[in-house]
Structure 1
Amino acid sequence: MTKSLTVGNLHPEDDHMHAVSEHPSHNESMFFNFFDDALGMGGFVRIGNRPNEGYAEMTFCVFLPSGELLMQWAKPALPSNDVFSAAGLKFKVLEAGRRLSVSYVGEAVRIKDPLEMRQPGKALRGNPSVPTRLKLDISGMGPMIGDRDGTSPDAVIFLDGVGHYQQVIAAMGELSVGEDLWMLNARGVRDHSWGPRQWHSILRDRSLWISFGTDLTFIACKTWLDTERPPDEMGCVIEYDEVTPLRSIGIHSHFFADSYYHDQVVLKVTDVRDRIFTIDGKVLAYVPLRHRKEGRETVYLGQAMTRFEMNGRQTLGLSEYFDAESTVAALISLSRRGEFVVE
């Protein structure tokens, strides 16, 4: 537990870009999720620089109040790892650990039903592209939590061999889509990592980001690297500037019938102070994404705007489910029972 700008061996300067290693899969990425409870909308933006492969990955994904999805994805050439700027999406650090900006200027596809992304090519070609502008002022609402080189397995937020941290944020700004305009007053969590990363290096993952306010945020991640080992668990409770690690993470998932798409989740966590929290989540909107690579099995990434409730408090947040193709058949079979699955 602490009250400082960083937790772990991080420095505030880790908010900036890092030297590129010789590893062919070196990646430096930043991710922001943000949700406005009053408007009933939110989503995430991500840039992943892959300098040794010569390209960046850009994702823009926002769930609109109408139930529609605003989506854009690109893989532009990357001249250097000096900045986060890809296909109209830009992230800037204004004051390390405290203030950042997110902006997007370009086209996005307005998709009537997010589930159309089961066939991404068809969805992106068959729905209208609209002029889109996003401008967010990001404020850190708690410390940067993580490990700067991925060598401290006891770190609260940890990726083996990779610099990584997360931080609770407030996101203020506006989103314009064609003639529609929303003024956003959102909460969420951001993530920054640097080092060797491969989408296909894990088997399954469950990540939940739940911010009820500056006084109470949960980060809970559970990762299965293979079928032989128990899952890795990491996460914490953030109460203002105080960070308490989680000792155990229990996830109970319910899936749409005949699918691996989750529609409900119950998170049961115990922190190192032996406090027990149970949070109920109901998926309001779900987008099925995927990542393909020649010679590797497809991985599926379900991103869901989720209404979370605990002790009478409610908030919107993100539940992210990652499943390698080889695990999907078992989930579909379990979904037909109509029961919660303990994960």
Structure 2
Amino acid sequence: MSPSFDISQFGIVAEDEYTHPFSPDHADWNESYFFDWYSEDATFAGHCRVGWHPGQNRVLFWLFVYHNQEWLMIEEYRLPLSALQLDSTGKAFNYEGWGLEFSYTPGEPLLNGTLDVSGFARVISGQRLGMVLPVALNLTLEAVAPPHSRGAGEVESHSAQGYSTNRYEQPIKAECAATIDGHAQTCQVRGERDHSWGPRPWDMEWSFLVINNEDFSLQATVVRIPEWPPIKMGYFKGADGEMLNLTDVDFQVDYNAGAPEQAVQGKISLSCENDTVISADLIPVTGTEIDITHTFASPRRTEYRRSLVQCRFHGEHEGVVSPGWFECNRNVTDDTVENN
């Protein structure tokens, strides 16, 4: 059946489902695939990132799964690039070794696909804190809207002469089959995936919100790059409407530096290109801190956190309460209250 949307609405083409040539002149070149998901009641959720740095000869992988009030985590940031297979046997990427396997198999490009992960995860919160448990996950996803992109952008450090550099975000619905320590369950979930390629210096701050439910999907980002004004972008798409660019993003939120599991709360206000304003209260459910110390030229800690949240919407969407994800990366010297 044909999709109800044009996958190329924002300039992304079917070939962008797969991997891209990289510039050997950029040690920080990174290509990555990211997936997140959550159940409607926010009791089951997770996110997975697979990225590779050809100039550093390594693969970065993480998997975080939230289930039964426990967080389970696999972080592997120094896997050998030589062990990663790209664009082989129908898979965009495939890794297998030392008790860890992960792959992504596109179906119809930019429309559906399957993420598979299996390995051993450490419990980092909850009743079984500290245990290492076997985990297997299958995420069979279907796009609910076109991939959204604002193009390669104008930031010089994110471009490479003669090479395609870009990223896209795409809302999805999926069936997630997970087996944790021998106990299997299957959930219907929603979330988002993204795919990015190009030079990617991590020395910047950002805040990021994604919401996806039966009524609408949205993604909003504020990026702060040294010597640049804040970059604000994203999209909003009603269930039966066109995907719209955001023209303004305002996160009026408090950050809790001392509690990664309750890292953020406050209000959001998003303006669309048709002058619609989307507003909501943001309430934390749970969350974790993620290790990106190794991505900086001089390794250091930042507050890089991903929070499962509930948003209570107002105005046109009064009464809608939806789970979502709020991600932020902040320098540790920042105040715990920040107005974006």
* TM bin (shorter chain): 0.7 to 0.9
Q: Is the 8 Å Cα contact of residues 43 and 69 (structure 2) preserved in structure 1? A: no
Tell me how far 1:220 sits from its aligned partner.
Answer: 0.1
Who is 1:342 aligned against?
Answer: 339
Q: 1:304 to 1:182 in 2, by over 3 A?
A: same
Q: Is the 8 Å Cα contact of residues 49 and 84 (structure 1) preserved in structure 2? A: no
TM-score (normalised: structure 1): 0.83
2:271 pairs with 1:267 = no
Tell me how far 1:3 sits from its aligned partner.
Answer: 3.9
Who is 2:32 aligned against?
Answer: 29
Cα distance in 1 between the residues matched to 2:258 and 2:143: 40
Who is 2:108 aligned against?
Answer: 95
Who is 1:7 aligned against?
Answer: 9
Who is 2:62 aligned against?
Answer: 59
Q: Is the 8 Å Cα contact of residues 158 and 198 (structure 2) preserved in structure 1? A: no
Cα distance in 1 between the residues matched to 2:150 and 2:221: 15
Tell me how far 1:259 sits from its aligned partner.
Answer: 6.1
Q: Which runs of 4+ in 1 moved over 6 A?
A: none
User: Tell me, which stretches of 5 or more residues in structure 2 are unaligned?
Assistant: 160-164
2:238 pairs with 1:236 = no
2:206 pairs with 1:205 = yes
Q: Is the 8 Å Cα contact of residues 284 and 310 (structure 2) preserved in structure 1? A: yes
Cα distance in 2 between the residues matched to 1:135 and 1:180: 14
Cα distance in 2 between the residues matched to 1:98 and 1:257: 38
Q: 1:257 to 1:52 in 2, by over 3 A?
A: closer
Q: 1:246 to 1:111 in 2, by over 3 A?
A: same
Cα distance in 2 between the residues matched to 1:194 and 1:186: 26
- Per-residue CA deviation, residues 74-100 of structure 1 (Å, 9 max, x unaligned), is 131112544423441211212101111
SS in 1 for 2:213: strand
Q: How many residues align?
A: 311
SS in 2 for 1:273: coil
Cα distance in 1 between the residues matched to 2:145 and 2:281: 24
User: Tell me, which stretches of 5 or more residues in structure 1 are unaligned?
Assistant: 115-122, 154-158, 335-340
What is the RMSD of the two structures over their aligned residues, measured on CA atoms? 2.4
> Greater relative contact order (Cα 8 A, min sep 6): structure 1 or 2?
1
Cα distance in 1 between the residues matched to 2:150 and 2:125: 40
Who is 2:162 aligned against?
Answer: none
Could you tell me which of 132, 137, 140 is aligned with 1:137?
A: 140
Who is 1:120 aligned against?
Answer: none
Cα distance in 2 between the residues matched to 1:299 and 1:81: 31
Who is 1:117 aligned against?
Answer: none
TM-score (normalised: structure 2): 0.84
**1:103-252 correspondence runs (5 A):** 103-113=116-126, 127-146=130-149, 150-151=152-153, 160-161=158-159, 162-200=165-203, 202=204, 204-213=205-214, 215-226=215-226, 228-240=227-239, 242-252=242-252
2:339 pairs with 1:321 = no
Segment of structure 1 superposing worse, 76-85 or 279-288: 76-85
Who is 1:118 aligned against?
Answer: none
- Per-residue CA deviation, residues 237-289 of structure 1 (Å, 9 max, x unaligned), is 01246111111111011233756863313110111111111121111112012
Who is 1:84 aligned against?
Answer: 93
